[in-house]
Structure 1
Amino acid sequence: MSQVNITPLADRVLIEPAAAEEKTASGIIIPDTAKEKPQRGIVVAAGSGKKDEPMTVKVGDTVLYGKYAGTELSVEGNDYLIMKESDLFAIINS
């Protein structure tokens, strides 16, 4: 997990997407053009929440989100997604 100098506002979270799968379960290598966008990532920064709605997720949580959720951005050579907490589907408990 990377350390970033970005603090999301209100109910937004900054997510470091998990790496796309390189191989299928049967061992077939997936070319870059056919890779699926990851739908899982780690929260690296979170806002303070809305006035009457505190944040549910915290930094370090592994989360699931929609395939096209969030806005992509690149900071210091690392790729991130920023999205509203309501765009998250679940926290993965390990």
Structure 2
Amino acid sequence: MKVKPLGARVLLKEVETEETTKSGIVLPSNAKEKPYLAEVIEVGPGEIKDGKEIKMQVKKGDKVLYSKYAGTEVKLDDQKYLIVRQDDILAVIE
């Protein structure tokens, strides 16, 4: 199923990470607080708000940090995704 966000919204997929403690114990991503790190899957076309054009500053494939309580979780084809407004994206990781 293909999803295309509307307006200035972005479809994200959380990046799964494992972390190893100093003692060598591996912590899976579901055993700790979410890292708020995701990959951009799709990008909306942008929007015009109050007569000003809002251009999209992220592109497909970017790794980004997003706000803690941002967006709406959706499940498509047994995968979890997050739809957020571009304003909820804090940074692009290079």
What TM-score bracket applies, with the shorter chain setting the length?
0.7 to 0.9
Unaligned runs of 5+ in 2: none
Percent identity, aligned pairs only, is 43
CA offsets per residue over residues 14-49 of structure 1, 9 Å max, x none?
001011x43344233337774111311100001000
SS in 2 for 1:86: helix
Give the number of the structure whose residues are more often strand, by fraction.
2
Letter in 1 for 2:4: T
Unaligned runs of 5+ in 1: none
Letter in 1 for 2:64: V
Tell me what 1:74 maps to.
75
**Runs of 4+ more than 2 Å apart:** 21-25, 27-34
SS in 1 for 2:87: helix
| Alpha-carbon distance change, 62 to 33 in structure 1, aligned in 2, over 3 angstroms | closer
Q: What TM-score results when the alignment is normalised by the length of structure 2?
A: 0.83
Q: How many residues align?
A: 89
Q: 1:44 aligns with which of 38, 41, 44?
A: 41
Q: What TM-score results when the alignment is normalised by the length of structure 1?
A: 0.83
Task: Tell me the C-alpha RMSD between the 2 structures.
Answer: 1.9
